[in-house]
Amino acid sequence: MDVLFVADPLASFKIYKDTTFTMMREAQRRGHRVWACEPRDLSWRSGGPVQALVRELQLTGQEPQWFEERSCTTWALHQFGAVIMRKDPPFDSEFFYATHLLGQAEREGARVFNKPAALRDHPEKLAIMECPQFLSPTLVTRSETEVREFHAEHRDIILKPLDGMGGMGIFRVGTEGLNLGAIIETLQRDGAQTIMVQRYLPAIAQGDKRVLVIGGKPVPYALARIPQGGEVRGNLAAGGKGVAQPLTERDLEIATTLGPTLVARGLLLVGLDVIGDCLTEINVTSPTCFREIMDQTGFDVAATFVDALEQALSA
């Protein structure tokens, strides 16, 4: 089977930790042909199918040149057995347009994972609104007054932009309220942008857990991303330390409750972010942490993903 990965530039991959690379490696191990392109390589012309300039890869696994390019050609997306959308956030206008091109490719017969319409319908921070039973107190607003009222009620809060990734733009404001006004102005740009505010969860000291859900079922281990050096953010991109650990009963409750609904919507791979007992985000664009869990526990997350992919294709 030919498998196309729509991803970030290959030169940016850090294969010692890259989840997309582990997917590619497992697909190649099973005899599938691995191809790659970037969203900018997608195109459509009236009367024809959605196509892309694609590169066939032979993985070497040796950095810095971790692949050999076997061919470079233009294919219609429906010619691939599967198309895996792995472009990292931000979910900007170009990402949005790419999902529409991928949606047209689906209408032409392509099998795309995660489903493009589901990517659009599940903004990673706002998707949690569907499951209030798992949340800490949360506010989504443009109003400075509402943010100040929320702070007055909860005293210790986290503020963050809706389009951030890797811990970007996250602020904590404690009881004293220092710099609250400046932080609000920075994030919501004088009322032009909506932000999210959540009650601070002290359990972040034990880690911001990434719970992977593949084919609607939870991976048995989470990666707890533990803040370091006085940071409030546990994200690995912000210097957090990743520690794999078995799912708690609460992690399992959240994952098994949401999993069947998410996979039914075309979300083959989801990354739930859980702090303590509370769900904080539902990540659907390009969830990571495969490699860290695999290296620390021996559980083959990549094989689980390709199993789920092959099963979805045969359904």
In this structure, which CATH number among 3.30.470.20, 3.40.640.10, 3.30.70.20, 1.10.510.10 belongs to the domain 203-308?
3.30.470.20
The Cβ of residue 90 has, within 10 Å, a number of other Cβ atoms equal to: 14
Rounded CA separation 280/278 (Å): 6
Is 190 marked active-site? no
Q: What is the pLDDT of residue 234?
A: 67
Strands 67-76 and 195-199, by their bridges, are unpaired
Directed axis angle between helix 290-297 and helix 301-314, to 10°? 120
**Segments making up each domain of the chain, as ranges:** 2-116, 137-200, 203-308
Q: Annotate the chain with three-state secondary structure.
A: CEEEEECCCHHHCCCCCCHHHHHHHHHHHCCCEEEEECHHHEECCCCCCCEEEEEEEEECCCCCCCEEEEEEEEEEHHHCCEEEECCCCCCCHHHHHHHHHHHHHHHCCCCEECCHHHHHHCCCCHHHHHCHHHCCCEEEECCHHHHHHHHHHHCCEEEEECCCCCCCCCEEECCCCCCHHHHHHHHHCCCCCCEEEEECCHHHHHCEEEEEEECCEECCEEEEEECCCCCCCCCHHHCCEEEEEECCHHHHHHHHHHHHHHHHCCCCEEEEEEECCEEEEEECCCCCCHHHHHHHHCCCHHHHHHHHHHHHHHC
Is 281 marked active-site? yes
Q: What is the pLDDT of residue 91?
A: 84
For residue range 75-95, what is the model confidence (pLDDT) as tens digits? Answer: 999 999 999 999 998 888 999
Look over the chain and give the mean of its residue pLDDT values, rounded to a whole number: 95
Is 125 marked active-site? yes
The answer as to CATH 3.30.1490.20 being correct for domain 137-200 is: yes
**CA distance from start to end of the chain:** 16
Tokens 């702070």 correspond to what residue? 151
pLDDT > 80? residue 238: no
Cβ distance 66 to 28 under 8 Å? no
The answer as to CATH 3.40.50.20 being correct for domain 2-116 is: yes
Q: What is the pLDDT of residue 246?
A: 98
For residue range 268-303, what is the model confidence (pLDDT) as tens digits? Answer: 999 999 999 999 999 999 999 999 999 999 999 999
φ, ψ of residue 121 in degrees (nearest 5): -85, -5
Catalytic residue among 106, 208, 273, 292: 273
Catalytic residue among 38, 233, 235, 251: 233
Q: CA dist 118 to 35, 110, 134, 288, Å?
A: 23, 15, 21, 18
Catalytic residue among 25, 55, 199, 225: 225
Is 217 marked active-site? no
Is 107 marked active-site? no
Catalytic residue among 125, 199, 209, 291: 125
- Closest listed residue to residue 114, CA positions, set 5, 17, 9: 5
Is 88 marked active-site? no
- Closest listed residue to residue 292, CA positions, set 253, 215, 240, 254: 240
- If pLDDT is split at 50, 70 and 90, which confidence band does 213 have? very high
For residue range 105-128, what is the model confidence (pLDDT) as tens digits? Answer: 999 999 999 999 999 999 989 999
